[in-house]
Amino acid sequence: MELTGAEIFVECLKAEGVDTIFGYPGGAVLHIYDALYKEAEHVNHILVRHEQAAVHAAEGYAKATNRPGVVLVTSGPGATNAVTGIADAYMDSVPLVVFTGQVPRHLIGNDAFQEVDIVGITRPCVKHNFLVTDVKDLASTVKKAFYIASTGRPGPVLVDIPKDITAARCEFNYPKEISIRSYNPTVKGNKRQVRRAIDLMLESKRPILYTGGGVVLSGGAAELTQLARELKFPVTNTLMGLGAYPATDPLFVGMLGMHGTYEANHAMHQSDLVIAIGARFDDRVTGNIEKFCPHAKIIHVDIDPASISKNVKVDIPIVGDVKHVLADLLEELHSRKDWQTADISAWWAQINEWRKTDCLHYEQDHESIRSQFVVEKLWEVTGGDAYVTSDVGQHQMWAAQFYKFDKPNRWINSGGLGTMGFGLPAAMGVQIAYPEATVACITGDGSIQMNIQELSTCMQYQLPIKIITLNNGYLGMVRQWQEFFYQKRYSMSYMDALPDFVKLAEAYGHVGMRIERPADVEGALKEAMAMKNRLVFMDFITKRESNVYPMVPANAGHNEMILV
């Protein structure tokens, strides 16, 4: 039986087990939307208010579930509005399949209404993209898109579909399997390299496990936890890796990097062996490359061979899926019947000395609310079991420092691209994936306004997200850098025309709260969390000029931190 391209599209989604798609309709995709209308019981479409938000919502869904997020937008501005979200997903290795409408084939290249070359525009920020030119290729192209997005190093894949393709007809045959000759990601690590890695790990006297988002993406948190506890090695997470190892465990030394802990950064600097797992040695971790880990040999486990020795030369590279390689490391360790590590008691004594610095200490007075205090109380009130999204800036760093993530996939933020406006739509995606879960969006008074129109989406779909706005009247991280490095010339970082967020939330049909006294913080959070079926927008009026500490200045070594 022949189906239209639009009907084939929907059947492909059903065959992939897609239950949710985020999008916004327009002329080039109306055939698809008509087909979705007829299959609404099988594929739930979430209508956002801006295409960027559709992609961020799909990212939140994907990060929370480890399943590909799916997006559908129209041609022209619909496609270009999605580019920021696509670039964000590319930087953070998020599995997405983004479908864009395109003008009919005979109009491509004619500057037709709402025509853009979205394949050309997105080529630098997708894992792969396709332009469908024959309806007979549509099903196999969709299959390839999901396969590429979710295997190897995950990432966004874009499929551009001309409108006439969605009207054309052909027989529907969805491939059960796909093979792409030029794309065969390595999953299993090299056994010889695994043995060499264990040799170094058992010999090391100052080891540290440096673990990133790849552990979360691969589902390897349990294997990492077992390995660390058996070896009794200290563990540090990157911003994207938080939750890969339990933050309340004694072996955890905190997040590392520009706003990492004193003990984590010093342990990295003084280590004689860095075991990097699913991390990419980005500039926010390394600081000045010339000063990074000067005494250490480096083992690097990553699914992407292009990431190994890209920024930092490593001694033992292991290409493979993190979960599989961690299992291989455990198997190799257990195969050595009488294995034991070198004595690292002196190393732990030194780490515990660094811990005494108490680098995250702050003073909460009775007058003005400290942002750190709000995040700590959120952690207590939610029992550390919420899904937490954030936007980008000071509030993001305080969330990372003070909400202790003990589970993977609970910390949902924009790491590589640093996208303001990510937090609220990402929270929508998480809440849709897990309707009964507590989902909190920690944001700032600048970031929340980037996609604040999604409060309308939240009302339409009754999403009971809890928004925690740390309102200091500034673009906080911009102001902090201007204080430190631009002699307090606060150029365009002061927000002197903020809306009344309480009234704004109420205008969208939600509950609004303004909290101005430290004594009211805990009670407000408890009251909000008790409203299980309502979105609550909490506007916390916080200390105006607080800074995030520790901080590694630009071009400094990762051990050269500003503490106060």
Residues involved in catalysis: 51, 113-114, 163, 477
Could you tell me which of 382, 391, 384, 373 has the C-alpha nearest to residue 427?
A: 391
Q: What is the DSSP letter of 145?
A: H
Residue 210 has φ and ψ, to the nearest 5°, of: -105, 105
The answer to whether 36 and 45 are in contact (CB under 8 A) is yes
The residues near 556 (Cβ < 8 Å, ≥ 6 apart) are: 287, 288, 291
Calpha distance 154→54 (Å, rounded): 19
- Give, for 547, the enclosing helix (H) or strand (E): none
Token pair 């507590």 is found at 438
Residue 210 Cα distances to 156, 188, 237, 281, 413, angstroms: 26, 20, 6, 10, 19
| C-beta neighbour count of 307 within 10 angstroms | 21
- Give, for 464, the enclosing helix (H) or strand (E): none
The answer to whether 189 and 301 are in contact (CB under 8 A) is yes
Could you tell me which of 406, 415, 411, 479 has the C-alpha nearest to residue 444?
A: 479
Calpha distance 73→86 (Å, rounded): 12
The dihedral sign for the CA sequence 402, 407, 412, 413: positive
Calpha distance 200→273 (Å, rounded): 8
Q: Which two tokens stand for residue 103?
A: 């003008």
Q: Mark out the alpha helices in 278-387 (DSSP H runs).
A: 283-286, 322-335, 345-355, 371-381
Residue 12 has φ and ψ, to the nearest 5°, of: -65, -45
Calpha distance 528→533 (Å, rounded): 10
Q: Which two tokens stand for residue 316?
A: 């033992």
